[in-house]
Structure 1
């Protein structure tokens, strides 16, 4: 059974923006699309370590601010790159609050 934690209000993240959450396994970027969809993934680009929370959110993707790798927010897979994948995490919205399951984040820290 997953444990869900409240990580904040959707209003704390601008549309087409992101915020970071610190976890035992590192920083997780939480993204909000123009359509108010919420996604979460590791904040570090596997290419050169770019901070994905500082990238450009477009549609359901984010572009790394360092070298323009584009990641699908739902799957974490880099689009058009030789290889690349970022761990994603389940999130949900309940009454305007963002909830994230911490199971995967804790498992990654072990």
Structure 2
């Protein structure tokens, strides 16, 4: 990814957690896995508008904090259902997180 918005240092998102950001006028959630990877998604669950950044993160699986629906951060697909969340390109460059929306 060559373009994208610099949302700041990766250190602002503890491993295994997510945080919300405004990127180019769009609200997103950015997740930092225990393995050091970063992923970006829409900020709210499509079912009950649960705040996804507050969900449980295990590997690349995100569990919604309101009703325990599981989403794959790589694809946005919900495990065992025909629902999905929007995903955005995200990467770390020189310690900063860049997201393309």
Fold shared per TM-score above 0.5:
yes
RMSD: 1.7
In the alignment, what sits opposite 1:52?
52
In the alignment, what sits opposite 2:41?
41
Deviation by residue 1:12-45 (Cα, 9 ceiling, x = unmatched): 1011001111246642100000001000000111
Greater helix percent: which structure? 1
Q: For the structure 1 residues 80 and 29, does the alpha-carbon distance in structure 2 shift closer, same or farther, using more than 3 Å as the test? A: same
Alpha-carbon contact 1:47-1:84 (below 8 Å) kept = no
**CA positional deviation for 1:5:** 1.3
1:5-44 equivalences in 2 (<5 Å) = 5-23=5-23, 26-44=26-44
Is 2:85 the counterpart of 1:70? no
CA distance in 2 between partners of 1:41 and 1:20 (Å): 10
TM-score by length of 1: 0.84
TM-score by length of 2: 0.91
Task: Point out the structure with max Rg over C-alpha.
Answer: 1
CA distance in 2 between partners of 1:86 and 1:25 (Å): 18
- Which secondary structure does the structure 1 equivalent of 2:11 belong to? helix
Aligned residues: 101
In the alignment, what sits opposite 1:107?
none
Structure 2: gaps spanning 5 or more residues = none
